[in-house]
Amino acid sequence: MSKVRIEIYENDPFSGGCCGAGGGSLQAAMRLMKTLNERAEVVTKLRGEFKDIEVAREIVNPQKKLEQYPQHARQFIVSGTSLPFVLVNGKLAVVGAFPTLEEFRKIIKEFLNKT
């Protein structure tokens, strides 16, 4: 089985909205916390289910220098690819959404079937 590297590039959840400058509502903070917990749970389940995958999550922050991102990801960041986006072994697999566990399973299995 080939090694699969999944990279998830996400927007900074604290750059605006509930927890950004000026604060926000408790409900917005709770929604954000729920979303972040759900995403972390998906990643944890993937790591447990697929032993030959590596999963990395990266926050795309406009204050971070472009050189700090991997070369293969920079083209998507510079071109304004909608966040979040997912790369599988450097190839763009998902744009504008954080996949569910079931969607990630399908993406991984499709990739494994091609190799």
Report pLDDT for 115. 64
The model's pTM: 0.85
Please give the residue that has the higher pLDDT: either 14 or 86.
86
Domains of the chain by residue range: 4-114
pLDDT at 21: 46
The confidence band for 22, taking pLDDT boundaries of 50, 70 and 90, is very low
| Sole residue written with tokens 């083209």 | 75
CB–CB of 2/115 below 8 Å? yes
49-98 residue pLDDT tens? 988 899 999 999 888 899 999 999 999 999 999 999 999 999 999 999 99
Q: Distance (Å, rounded) from C-alpha 39 to C-alpha 83? A: 14
Q: Name the pairing type of β-strands 53-60 and 91-95.
A: unpaired
| Model pLDDT for residues 23-50, shown as the tens digit of each residue | 568 888 898 899 999 999 999 999 999 8
Q: How far is CA 96 from the centre of its chain?
A: 10
User: How many Cα atoms sit within 13 Å of 78 on the Cβ side?
Assistant: 11
CA distance 112 to 115: 5
The architecture that CATH gives domain 4-114 is 3-Layer(aba) Sandwich (3.40)
